[in-house]
Structure 1
Amino acid sequence: MDEIVAAVEESLSPETREEFDARVERQAATVGHDVRSGALDNDDFAVGLELETYATDATGRLVRLPDALFDSGVCGKELGVHNVELNTKPDVFDAPGLERQAASIRTAVREARQAVADLSADTDRPADADADDSIRLPLDAMWTVGPSEGAGAYLDAHTEQDGVVIAENMRRNARYVALDNEILRRAGGSVTLDVPGVERAFPTILVESLATSIQPHLQIPATDDLPTYFDVALRTMAPVLALATNSPFLPAEFYPEVRGEEAHEIVTASHHELRIAVFEQGINAGCEPGREKVRFPRDLTAATDVADRLVADETYAPFLTEPHAEVPDDYTERFPELDHKRGTYWRWLRTVVGGQVPRGTRDRHGDTAGDDNTTASVRLEYRPLPTQPTATDVVGLQCLTVGLIRGLVAADHPVVGLDWADARESFYDVAANGLDADLAWITAEGEETTDSDTVLREVFEYARRGLTEQGLHEAKADAYLAPIDARRRVGTTPSDWKRERVHEVVDDGATLPEAICRMQRDYLERAGRVDSFVDWL
């Protein structure tokens, strides 16, 4: 604990900040040069994915994960001690590459679940115990049934040592603790969530661990094309999120014990994608207007904006690294402070420099690339999407995202000309209203529209085009997209189902907290036994 306190104090010192910012500027200048010179160009598009989730017991209550889980190497740590992160290795964006991605996603989920099951089986327990103590890893976007001590007590638990606040249920990671203290100091000591039905202050940013996401990645071969792909991707975020919404409720105990019409009113007003509000309100506390850390980003005017925007962004929780004795083979490791700052650049869409060599890459001589090849590259990280109910849904949403961006650019689609402010307004409208939002769009014929049917038909048309552009047969492209396209056809997303289920339970006489808990357990049970969300409708 003393080591973490010392590291946080050093991180928050003026001297560290000054040196950190100077290093960031120098490293950004080098990256900017590499962007201009074409050193980040590659021969292939590539795709990858990050997937976050949380742990529960057999009844659906949140539980802490044992540290031994992370010794297995099948998953990584996240902010809360209940969180895990799963990653796929990047693959070239073609038919074999997407096959490997789909298999990797399913394998990652299966192996992580098996690892926690094995740890549960090894846990000592009384021989006559009847309770099911097994740990589960459901796929979901926000936990709503708190642990045995309650969600409030769990998120509020913290200690203070030498002026440093340490959340009890946050990973013992100096970066997380420094970031927490940076935000708390800017925010006056607490962060507040204010959403329909709930207004509550929290003593740490652990509240952000309520939400989990999936993040598709798309590597762009030619850096000069990055602004076009980035600007197009911004304009896809509203319709893609509209098909993905999955977090309409906070933990049940935070809501008032109301029944009947009063409960229905809160459910109706609740956002379809509360993860957007939770992340923005939890991290942006204390930010100056226009300087928010989490927000819908501006269009790119040039590829060099990748580095320039990191320099201009407000520095949070800086850490200094020891200089390397030799130039690292990994491109990102050559710019540790710049990469660290990128880790606190929380835009809903962001660019990332560096990464692994995608499987399936071939060098200029036609030989398959090995692990010793350069990792210099630039990719889009698509960040607004919540974790989905099943692995099949995750695969479908990844294919929809990367296929749509690729298809729109390949077709020179006019949606890139949609006014930025309209795209932003549409994004936040979707977060609040889901499929009922106005989806700002420009059609292939150049006509502006907010008609959801028109917009979503084009979304799938151009997602298919993007997938076939990369070598997939039409039937295979349709198969990947089918689970998400089915949501369009029936007009229902996971958040729609959750809200409607809570309405039903309230109609049966339950209080709002009781209804949310019952809905959540129904969701976890169904998600655990079907191939995709639409299979339970």
Structure 2
Amino acid sequence: MGKDVERTEFTRADRQRFRQKVRQCLDVFAQMLSESRFDTERPMTGLEVELNLVDAAGEPAMRNSDVLAAIADPAFQTELGRFNIEINLSPRPLGPAGLADFESSLRASLNAAEHKAELSGSNIVMIGILPTLQDEHMGPDTLSENQRYKLLDQQIFAARGENLEIDIAGRERLTTQADTIAPESACTSVQYHLQVAPDTFDRYWNASQAIAGVQVAVGANSPYLYGKQLWAESRIILFEQSTDTRSEELKAQGVRPRVWFGDRWITSIFDLFEENVRYYSALLPLSDDEDPAEVLASGGTPSLSELRLHNGTVYRWNRPIYDVVDGRPHVRVENRVLPAGPTVVDVMANAALYFGLVRALADQDRPLWTQMSFSAAEENFHAAAREGIGARVYWPGIGEVPVNELVLRRLLPLAHDGLDAWGVDPADRDRLLGVIEQRCISGRNGATWQVDTVHALEQTTSVSRGQALREMTRRYATHMHSNEPVHTWPGV
């Protein structure tokens, strides 16, 4: 998201040219699919983690440019808010050691980055929403210096024509307005990337959609925003509202939001790119001089830059990705539903559950999504975001069931099978899926630990909500660096 742009204004001609180019890219992409021009020989996986910066008091530290300069590692990049940074780990195959390699690499990188961040007066916290964020932290000066973010801000509000309304009814109620997209920066997530063959993409994307609610319920870690206890995973509803380009009238007409679960199962990756082009106007109409049809005809690999840029401004929870590495094109699923944290081992346990489940479901002779309506998957997703690990979800052949019971009795065995199919080392498989098992048995994940700790501090020490949130955040950061899974963290 942090790619630099040089333009600051767009003309009508810019928008018309971009529309023509993105449609041409879509035609070329369809031709590439029909001619099987994609790299499928050594499928890779990827991992990105968005992070928060805090000061000694646990408050957001608006210093990402200083921290990134101190870290001096190209794996770390800017993000939307000045209190955000992101780490992108090098892709690798799963295989026997893939999950363990990701884990050791992420731990080593975060430990080194934390040491250097401290020299800039900051600390790194891996959490879905920073609990100490307040409305006053969110203004035009919150956005990082990258011109891309300022352009997105301008374009979203130009499309909307009025302030953003944030209205979240959870355990408590939050109602506020924003004249900038800065509230989106509160949403810090983990993204898992899974490269697949184009002819199996639909199975992996459908499987990802079907389990999204389960992922969110088990991995919830964002119960607080602006001092209010809202959803177990408030990041979901906040992200949906903070990037909404629609006026109330357009919502009433059924115009699709830019943060979108979708509305149907698919039969091809082309379905998703075609929907993006058909339903969404350009936010950043930046065109280059490449003629993708000519590049393809000459035996080259087109970058399809306009299609990729446009795709990056439609925020599907499971996003289709077209990319080119070393001149070879590939496609992958980007799974974006989970919050960051609480620890590296928790992040990798969530990864094991995701990679294992989607492989097992994609390999089934009778696909799950032929037994389940798409609307049921979406309802599961939002119910899980509201209620977290205590949610009840619908599952084919069972009906409505507590999510922890579903995971323990039905889904963990599937995830074991899926990781076996990837060739993951059995010891890593059992260790990481064991973390998920213990979360479900104990009923404790990041969200429940945060809420229990804040309530205990309020009740036993008579501190204010703000003081309790600051103290909880400091304790969270200490436990995070221990790398002990969240279900083992002590209470107050």
Change (3 A) 1:5 1:384: closer
Change (3 A) 1:412 1:28: same
Query: Secondary structure of the residue that 1:53 maps to in structure 2?
Result: strand
Change (3 A) 1:518 1:316: farther
Name the counterpart of 2:94. Answer: 93
Name the counterpart of 2:137. Answer: 154
- Shift of residue 65, structure 1, vs aligned partner: 2.1
- Shift of residue 212, structure 1, vs aligned partner: 0.1
Q: Which amino acid aligns with 2:225?
A: L
Q: Which sections of structure 1, spanning at least 5 residues, go unmatched?
A: 121-133, 157-166, 256-266, 357-371
Q: Which moved more, 1:222-231 or 1:314-323?
A: 314-323
- Separation (CA, whole Å) in 2 of partners of 1:100 and 1:225: 26
Partners of 2:94 and 2:424 within 8 A in 1: no
Pick from 18, 24, 28: which aligns with 2:16?
A: 18
Q: Which amino acid aligns with 1:315?
A: S
Matches within 5 A, 1:274-423: 274-286=234-246, 288=250, 289-297=254-262, 298-324=264-290, 334-356=303-325, 372=326, 374-412=327-365, 414-416=367-369, 417-423=371-377
Greater share of residues in strand: 2
Name the counterpart of 1:503. Answer: 455
Query: Secondary structure of the residue that 2:378 maps to in structure 1?
Result: helix
Partners of 1:355 and 1:375 within 8 A in 2: yes
1:135 aligns with 2:122: yes
Name the counterpart of 1:428. Answer: 382
Query: Secondary structure of the residue that 2:231 maps to in structure 1?
Result: coil
1:144 aligns with 2:127: no
1:450 aligns with 2:401: yes
Q: Which amino acid aligns with 2:205?
A: F
**Identical aligned residues as a percent:** 26
Partners of 1:332 and 1:353 within 8 A in 2: no
Query: Secondary structure of the residue that 1:95 maps to in structure 2?
Result: coil
Show CA shifts across 1:46-101 (max 9, x none): 21111001101122111122525435124011101111110111111211333322
Pick from 217, 228, 235: which aligns with 2:210?
A: 235
Q: Which amino acid aligns with 1:276?
A: I
Partners of 1:75 and 1:84 within 8 A in 2: yes
Partners of 2:114 and 2:123 within 8 A in 1: yes
Name the counterpart of 1:529. Answer: 482
Show CA shifts across 1:263-318 (max 9, x none): xxxx4xx2101101110000114253341100212321323214312312312322
Q: Which amino acid aligns with 1:518?
A: E
Q: Which amino acid aligns with 1:278?
A: L
- Shift of residue 454, structure 1, vs aligned partner: 4.0
- Shift of residue 355, structure 1, vs aligned partner: 4.7
- Separation (CA, whole Å) in 1 of partners of 2:330 and 2:353: 23
Q: Which amino acid aligns with 2:103?
A: A
Change (3 A) 1:248 1:332: farther
Change (3 A) 1:229 1:5: closer
1:209 aligns with 2:192: no
Query: Secondary structure of the residue that 1:9 maps to in structure 2?
Result: coil
Q: Which amino acid aligns with 2:192?
A: P
1:184 aligns with 2:153: no
Matches within 5 A, 1:66-105: 66-71=64-69, 72=72, 73-105=74-106
Query: Secondary structure of the residue that 2:191 maps to in structure 1?
Result: strand
Partners of 2:64 and 2:78 within 8 A in 1: no
Partners of 1:245 and 1:273 within 8 A in 2: yes
1:460 aligns with 2:412: yes
- Shift of residue 339, structure 1, vs aligned partner: 1.0
- Shift of residue 420, structure 1, vs aligned partner: 0.7
Query: Secondary structure of the residue that 1:385 maps to in structure 2?
Result: strand
Q: Which amino acid aligns with 1:59?
A: A
Partners of 1:352 and 1:380 within 8 A in 2: yes
- Shift of residue 321, structure 1, vs aligned partner: 3.8
Pick from 462, 467, 472: which aligns with 1:514?
A: 467
- Shift of residue 6, structure 1, vs aligned partner: 8.7
Q: Which moved more, 1:488-497 or 1:410-419?
A: 410-419
Partners of 1:530 and 1:536 within 8 A in 2: no
Q: Which moved more, 1:176-185 or 1:502-511?
A: 502-511
Partners of 1:271 and 1:433 within 8 A in 2: yes
- Shift of residue 503, structure 1, vs aligned partner: 2.0
Name the counterpart of 1:8. Answer: 8
Q: Which sections of structure 2, spanning at least 5 residues, go unmatched?
A: none
- Separation (CA, whole Å) in 2 of partners of 1:113 and 1:375: 35
Name the counterpart of 2:392. Answer: 438
Q: Which amino acid aligns with 2:282?
A: Y
Change (3 A) 1:525 1:404: same
Partners of 1:47 and 1:402 within 8 A in 2: no
- Shift of residue 526, structure 1, vs aligned partner: 2.3
Query: Secondary structure of the residue that 1:354 maps to in structure 2?
Result: strand
Query: Secondary structure of the residue that 1:81 maps to in structure 2?
Result: coil
Matches within 5 A, 1:164-179: 167-179=140-152
- Shift of residue 399, structure 1, vs aligned partner: 1.6
Pick from 38, 62, 65: which aligns with 1:64?
A: 62
- Shift of residue 5, structure 1, vs aligned partner: 12
- Shift of residue 223, structure 1, vs aligned partner: 1.2
Q: Which amino acid aligns with 1:461?
A: P
- Separation (CA, whole Å) in 1 of partners of 2:379 and 2:48: 26
Matches within 5 A, 1:253-272: 255=228, 267=229, 270-272=230-232
Partners of 2:390 and 2:443 within 8 A in 1: no
- Shift of residue 319, structure 1, vs aligned partner: 3.4
- Separation (CA, whole Å) in 2 of partners of 1:5 and 1:296: 28
- Shift of residue 241, structure 1, vs aligned partner: 1.0
Per the normalisation by structure 1, the TM-score is: 0.82
Per the normalisation by structure 2, the TM-score is: 0.89
- Separation (CA, whole Å) in 2 of partners of 1:351 and 1:332: 18
Name the counterpart of 2:424. Answer: 472
Partners of 1:75 and 1:87 within 8 A in 2: yes
Q: Which amino acid aligns with 2:41?
A: D
Partners of 1:20 and 1:320 within 8 A in 2: yes
